[in-house]
Structure 1
Amino acid sequence: MTSHDKRWHFRAPWCTITRVITDNEALVRAAALNNAEWCDALSRTHGVKGEFGAAAWTAPRRTPPYYPDAVTLTADADAAQILERVDTSSDDCSVKDSYSSLDLSAAGFEVLFDAQWIHRSTSTPFPRTELRWRRVETAAELAAWEAAWDGGVTDLFLPDLLADETVAVLAAFDGSAVVAGAVANRSASVVGLSNTFGDWPGALAQIAHLWPGLPVVGYESGDDLDAALAQGFEAIGPLRIWLAQ
């Protein structure tokens, strides 16, 4: 049970409940926008130029593998308008429904998975790590990072990504070998954490070193969600990934 659940359980005054709900909604908005900015940054390295609207980020043609063609930014995003701005005829077209508020089944989409947005406060202590972490700096290091992240994937994370000052590809090294990693991207008020493997504590500590004073957000499901919660994150709201069939 989170602190927010406890306040509800003990019937805190209405003003307190309203403030908690508002805080969570603001965090979800920040997390969704941050994630859309990361999807946009990665897509641009593949020549796909997305567009930010009031209700969603959308890409006019298919984004790189594992990345959505749209990310909703508000709970009242209009499904029809979003689908008009993406290529629904392409294989694996997908929509990140940031509030689990859409029903895309009539348009031929099915739910791929459900997840939770997560948030880690700046007041939460950072755990210790014994690994040596730093920012990936070269194309060769990035290729080694990608191979450690998923040995079956190549050329998803391209060298142009290293020139983006708002993005940090982070790696832990044992000698020259990459043994853990993550991606962080900075927005105006939060830092997004994604693609984490091997060592959550080290990734969090490196983010605090790069961008001190900013809370960390992201989204996870299943065992990865359990791992995030064990590192001081809290779940702040549901999201859903829809995949065209």
Structure 2
Amino acid sequence: MTTLDPDATEEQLIEIGRLTDRLGRRPGFKDGFSRLDLVNKGFQLLFSASWIWAEPHGISARAPQDWARIRDAAALDRWEHSWKVSGSQTDANVFTPALLSDPNMHIYGRWAGDSFDAGCIVNRSTQAVGISNIFNMTGTPQAFRDAISLATIAFSPDVPLVGYDSGAALNEMIKLGFRSVGKLRIWLSDDAS
């Protein structure tokens, strides 16, 4: 679930209550404008981040070496394991094999033996190319440059690149031509479920 209106906080709180009643538990969701404070409403903040944006042609692209598009369930399992080990905020299985057949979604990884030491997800919409879930186990900024190149090459150099990041990853993306354009928060239920 994602909020879509920065000014509809009362309506969003009502809908969160309705959904909680219907599901029998609190849902997790993205507060796309960082407007809701839900600590006293049974939620915990998973993380805060900044939306990022890069203008078309603002990023130079070259095909990176040793990266491959993930195309089967076994590779996706290895990719997700590497993503989790690299510092993911969840232990849950998040990425299903159905994503691999979506023509608007590409998952990429840089092979390191029989696993991956870097990866990203790129998705296309009508107005932008999204880049997310960048991970990098080598500690060098090259994985960020490679992920941006893959995003630009995969779909179109003529639309903006967008995503969200925080901390060191946000700093790397800003160094590579992105700018911060807003805040968001990810909320989860504060119970064990």
TM-score by length of 2: 0.78
8 A Cα contact 1:133 1:203, kept in partner: no
Identity percentage over the alignment?
34
d(CA) in 1 for partners of 2:84, 2:127: 30
8 A Cα contact 1:146 1:154, kept in partner: no
SS at match of 2:2: strand
Q: Closer, same or farther in 2 for the Cα pair 1:110/1:142, shift >3 Å? A: closer
Q: Which residue of 2 aligns with 1:119?
A: 53
Q: Which residue of 2 aligns with 1:227?
A: 172
Deviation at 1:200, TM superposition (A): 1.0
More helix by share: 1
Q: Gapped runs of 5+ residues in structure 1?
A: 1-69
RMSD of aligned alpha carbons: 2.5
8 A Cα contact 1:147 1:153, kept in partner: no
Moved over 6 A (4+): none
Q: Residue 2 of structure 2 is aligned with which of 46, 71, 92?
A: 71
Q: Which residue of 1 aligns with 2:124?
A: 186
Q: Size of the alignment, in residue pairs?
A: 175
d(CA) in 2 for partners of 1:112, 1:177: 27
Deviation at 1:240, TM superposition (A): 2.0
Alignment of structure 1 residues 47-58 onto 2, 5 Å: none
Q: Closer, same or farther in 2 for the Cα pair 1:96/1:221, shift >3 Å? A: same
d(CA) in 2 for partners of 1:105, 1:114: 13
Q: Gapped runs of 5+ residues in structure 2?
A: 137-142
8 A Cα contact 1:131 1:174, kept in partner: no
TM-score by length of 1: 0.63
Q: Which residue of 1 aligns with 2:42?
A: 108
Comparing 136-145 with 96-105, greater Cα deviation is found at: 96-105
Q: Specify which structure has the bigger relative contact order, considering alpha-carbon pairs within 8 angstroms and separated by 6 or more residues.
A: 2
Deviation at 1:72, TM superposition (A): 0.3
8 A Cα contact 2:51 2:181, kept in partner: yes
8 A Cα contact 2:68 2:108, kept in partner: yes
d(CA) in 2 for partners of 1:187, 1:134: 22
Alignment of structure 1 residues 1-245 onto 2, 5 Å: 70-77=1-8, 78=11, 79-86=13-20, 89-90=24-25, 93-126=27-60, 131-151=65-85, 153=91, 155-174=93-112, 177-198=115-136, 199-212=143-156, 213-245=158-190
d(CA) in 1 for partners of 2:91, 2:41: 30
* Amino acid of the structure 1 residue aligned with 2:25: S
Deviation at 1:232, TM superposition (A): 1.3
d(CA) in 1 for partners of 2:25, 2:62: 45
Q: Closer, same or farther in 2 for the Cα pair 1:109/1:117, shift >3 Å? A: same
The structure with the largest alpha-carbon Rg is 1
Q: Closer, same or farther in 2 for the Cα pair 1:108/1:177, shift >3 Å? A: closer
d(CA) in 1 for partners of 2:76, 2:39: 38
Q: Closer, same or farther in 2 for the Cα pair 1:123/1:83, shift >3 Å? A: farther
d(CA) in 2 for partners of 1:218, 1:131: 23
Q: Closer, same or farther in 2 for the Cα pair 1:143/1:244, shift >3 Å? A: closer
8 A Cα contact 1:99 1:237, kept in partner: yes
Q: Which residue of 1 aligns with 2:139?
A: none
